[in-house]
A and B are shown apart, each in its own frame.
Chain A
Amino acid sequence: MITFNHVTKRYNEEKTAVKDLNFTVEKGNIVVLLGPSGCGKTTLLRMVNRLESISEGNIVINEQDSMDLNAIELRRKVGYVIQSNGLFPNMTIEENVMIVPDLLGWTKKEKRERFDYLMKLIGLDPKIYRKRFPHELSGGQQQRIGVVRALAADPPVMLMDEPFGALDPIIREKIQDEFLQIQREVKKTILFVSHDIDEAIKMGDKIVLLRDGEIMQYDTPSEMLTHPKNEFVSQFFGKDRAIKSLSLHTVKNLQEVIGLAHIDDAIEDTKTINVNQDLRNTISMLLNQEADQVIVTDDQGERIGSITIDLVQKYLHFEIKGKLSVSQEG
């Protein structure tokens, strides 16, 4: 758990980057810091592991005031991922990943086992990559290494500053999915900086929307989309909020509320989609094919029904539009 109490950051007389912030990141949650460039996201993040000093207020990490901890020890207990991955080119992948365990004095055997485990987590063969150097990896692979490096010593808290920002959209989505999968297993308390709305909606259990160092709203993604607190929030998420919120709902949610349609075997060329996929992907699939149904399969691959644009629209109307306090034009 990370608690911010009246946290203020003044760089100099004129520049106050963060103004009297109060919020809590619950244990095991991902909180996304979202907002336009220069709103203070990075500053706020770097105050947690004391890469920046705190001008006023305090930050409490798992019941301990960060200022009571030794800065070096604190940083070893807090995983840190930066946008450019920050891998050290002079070290092999194994050395890179095992930096913090090494600083903490783990044995060779402990390090090796941990490395093998982490590499499997991100689907890279430890044998192949152990002795490679960062420049021998693709951008996506480097970024994954940057993420597991932060996980290496199993820190309870992680700070991630636009960790997937440098990747192209397709790889980014893949790594986001992969990371959420890992997070389900490891349950870290994570502060995650992003300036990408879709990423924030997808990754965040909650979102802190910032402007000029002040919190505009702190809520779950769906609350923010459906109940924006002020003009800035609703403008920030844009007129297509309704569409965006589709990615918060899965085919399964729809099935539970209004049920699926029957499969029309007369229609040729229909694609299939897993029941856990979100409705935004479903819609784009429906729009990108000839047939006007998509067959839904469960985790075992059984065909359990079909979904159509009409159905999504109906669900949207009941579940989402009904909740939008400001009228939707999307």
Chain B
Amino acid sequence: MEEWLRFLEINAPRILELTLDHAILVTLAIIVALLIGVPLGIYLTTNEYLAGTVLQVASVTLTIPSIALFGVMIPIFSIINQGIGFLPAFVALVLYSQLPIIRNTYTAIKNVNPEMRDAAIGMGMKTSQRLLRVEIPNALPVIMAGVRTAVVLNIGIGVIAAYIGAGGLGVLITQGISRGDNYLIISGSLAVALLAIIADAILLFIQKRFTTKGIAN
């Protein structure tokens, strides 16, 4: 126990800094993933043919082992001299987030009660009004569930980013493994788990805030 405390005393600033790096990497990746995935998911509801293809591709992406995807990023980004570091890790995380976000957005909008959609059109809403006032608000819980899945997924996969020099909590774990230092491995893993739990709680709170009472059951 005493040894633990000493370890933490020495390493706390570093753990915190790496946690912050990790959180920033994941947050930026999720924001960009949302900006791509939500509009794409909505668009796919109007293009059945493309929807099948895109969802297929996104599913396949998710099955690529993370270490392999990160590995593939290196030669690609070497072309612009960014082979290792933040950028390839960021792009890989954006790719991994696409499936849960696109699929949930697509499914949620598709599943909005067709009679509701009919009423919206019949009352003279334009497409944008229908999306913003009716379809997205009613689809929000399912879209948010996709976002939460993506965030937790990314926090976990983000650990691998350390292998391509993108920093984050993976650094503690990889160092711990190479040095045979259990304290490093355990504290790194705990920090990852804690970060995931906190992120999920924050997102749940946001989701509740933006869901009206009418559909909050």
Contacts and interface: CB of A to CB of B under 8 A. Distances in A.
B48 interface: no
B211 to A, nearest CB: 8
A231 to B, nearest CB: 36
A270 interface: no
A48 to B, nearest CB: 10
Contacts of A73: 124
Give the residue among B122, B126, B129, B134 with the most A Cβ atoms within 10 A: B122
A149 B122 CA distance: 12
A149 B116 CA distance: 14
A191 interface: no
The interface residues of chain A, by DSSP majority, are classed as: mixed
A186 B48 CA distance: 44
A103 interface: yes
B119 interface: yes
Interface string A144-182: 000001000000000000000000000000000000000
B65 interface: no
Contacts of B214: 88-92, 133-135
The 7 closest A-B pairs by CB, nearest first: A86-B119, A133-B214, A75-B124, A76-B124, A80-B122, A90-B137, A89-B214
B9 interface: no
Nearest to B121: A51
Interface string B106-146: 00000000011011111111100100011001100000000
Nearest to A83: B115
B207 to A, nearest CB: 14
B213 interface: yes
Contacts of A99: 123, 125
Contacts of A133: 212-214
B77 to A, nearest CB: 43
A100 interface: yes
Contact of B121 (A75, A92, A100): A75
A312 to B, nearest CB: 43
Contacts of A88: 116, 119-120, 133-134, 138, 214
17 contacts: A49-B122, A51-B122, A73-B124, A75-B121, A76-B123, A80-B122, A82-B119, A86-B122, A87-B119, A88-B119, A88-B133, A88-B134, A89-B214, A90-B134, A90-B138, A91-B214, A100-B123
Size bracket, chain B contacts: 20 to 34
B141 to A, nearest CB: 10
Interface string A103-115: 1000000000000
A161 B124 CA distance: 17
A72 interface: yes
Contacts of B68: none
B178 interface: no
A84 interface: yes
Nearest to A159: B122
B63 interface: no
Interface residues of A, number: 24
Given A51-B121, A76-B124, A134-B214, A103 B116 contact: no
B217 interface: yes
A154 to B, nearest CB: 14
Nearest to B119: A86
Interface string A43-86: 00000010100000000000000000000111110001010101
B10 interface: no
Contacts of B79: none
A88 B215 CA distance: 10
A75 B138 CA distance: 23
Contacts of A89: 116, 138, 214-215
A51 B217 contact: no
Given A86-B122, A88-B133, 13 more contacts: A51-B121, A73-B124, A80-B122, A82-B119, A86-B116, A89-B138, A89-B215, A90-B134, A90-B212, A103-B124, A133-B214, A135-B214, A149-B123
A100 B119 CA distance: 11
A84 B138 contact: no
A82 B122 contact: yes
Contact of B129 (A80, A86, A87, A103): A103
B117 to A, nearest CB: 9
Contacts of A103: 123-125, 129
B104 to A, nearest CB: 17
Nearest to B140: A90
Contacts of B217: 135
A91 B212 contact: yes
Contacts of B213: 133
